[in-house]
Amino acid sequence: MSSKRHHADLVREVVSSPKAAGQAGFAASWRRSMIHHKIDPAAMPHDERLTEAEIRARREASGLLLQIAAPVLDRLARAACDAGCTVLLSDAGGLILDERVRAGDAGDFHASNLAPGSDWSEGAQGTNGIGTCLAEGRPVTVWRGQHFRSGNTGLTCMGAPVFGAQGDLAGVIDVSSARDDMTEGYASLVALTAQDAAQRIEGDLFRTAFQGARILSAGPGENAPQGVMLLALDRDDLVIGATRAARKYLGLSPEQIGQIPANDLIGQGPRGGLAEAQRAAMARALARNGGNVSAAARDLGIGRATFYRKAKSLNLGV
């Protein structure tokens, strides 16, 4: 029996057997692929691509994401591509928008349909680094035999979600390898690097969406394990924007955005991160302006009275 036929039989067994499903790392994704998306694991991988005009339209729809991601992808590619990997950026629908790959490796990856214009959603390809990352909203590393389709089992794919300024999924950064000698340690390192790149893009998307607002860290650090934790505050100190991780960390509901004062959130996080961030921002403004409260308040976009009130609540002597 060929290895591809054996893989397809294994997938069917896992999907049909509750006992086997508990032993497979991507059993839930395999079940979605077979039962919900009705994909045959033995069928040849979906290899259709959009036309140039269709790709251009999808890229235009994700223009800001592509613009902000470009330098981040370039940095990631300098390390990953030298190791024979391809670096890909998809939109929220799983369509590959952009790539970074060495010319000598492009043919092999494109033959596996890892190319701009290809649909790598779970509904098209089953379990994979892009589609399963989108379906589960979390970073994933899909080793060769963990892919759903037999034709994709030569790949190892590491996907990291990119969240937009409103906490919605904007796309995925995926680093894929076709090397047989890919080790677990190296894959873990690449996966962490991809996650860091995704968080950098998310932070830049948020700052761009809230230009003119004050941006504060809402937790223990922008690149903390919980994700990018940033808040945007207006002149009246209302929280007008929050990243996905910040919303979860502080328990912010969509209805509270634009309605809740930042003061009401101070100390609500497990480590009081917002209070520390506000105190630090005010202290820096004072230092830049030689202790002049009026000038510091202007720098922060708040009134002098508001500055004094907040300084008192944060035990910042002025």
Residues 202, 262 within the same domain: no
**What's the pLDDT tens digit per position in 47-58?**
789 999 999 999
Residues 150, 280 within the same domain: no
- HEC profile of 121-190: CHHHHCCCCCHHHHHHCCCEEECHHHCCCHHHCCCEEEEEEEECCCCCEEEEEEEEECCCCCCHHHHHHH
Residues 248, 291 within the same domain: no
Residues 55, 127 within the same domain: yes
Residues 243, 160 within the same domain: no
Residues 36, 177 within the same domain: yes
Question: How far is residue 227's CA from residue 310's CA, in Å, rounded to a whole number?
Answer: 27
Task: Give the chain's domain count.
Answer: 3
| Residue ranges of the chain whose pLDDT lies below 50 | 222-225, 269-271
What's 49's domain CATH number?
A: 3.30.450.40
Find out whether 130 and 120 touch, Cβ atoms under 8 Å. Answer: yes
What's 305's domain CATH number?
A: 1.10.10
Q: Please give the structure tokens belonging to residue 193.
A: 């690097």
At how many degrees (to 10) do helices 293-300 and 273-288 cross?
Answer: 120
Picking from 247, 32, 22, the residue whose alpha carbon sits closest to that of residue 135 is: 32
**Alpha-carbon torsion 159, 72, 179, 155, what sign?**
positive
What does pTM read for this prediction? 0.80
Residues 133, 31 within the same domain: yes
- For position 307, what pLDDT does the model report? 85
- For position 60, what pLDDT does the model report? 96
- For position 270, what pLDDT does the model report? 45
Residues 284, 177 within the same domain: no
- For position 20, what pLDDT does the model report? 62
Residues 59, 130 within the same domain: yes
- For position 303, what pLDDT does the model report? 81
Residues 79, 158 within the same domain: yes
- For position 46, what pLDDT does the model report? 64
- For position 240, what pLDDT does the model report? 95
Picking from 120, 181, 184, 175, the residue whose alpha carbon sits closest to that of residue 152 is: 120
Residues 8, 82 within the same domain: yes
Residues 75, 170 within the same domain: yes
- For position 300, what pLDDT does the model report? 80
**What's the pLDDT tens digit per position in 163-181?**
999 999 999 999 999 988 8
Which structural domain, as residue segments, surrounds residue 226?
212-266
Percent of the chain with pLDDT over 90: 61
Question: How far is residue 233's CA from residue 48's CA, in Å, rounded to a whole number?
Answer: 45
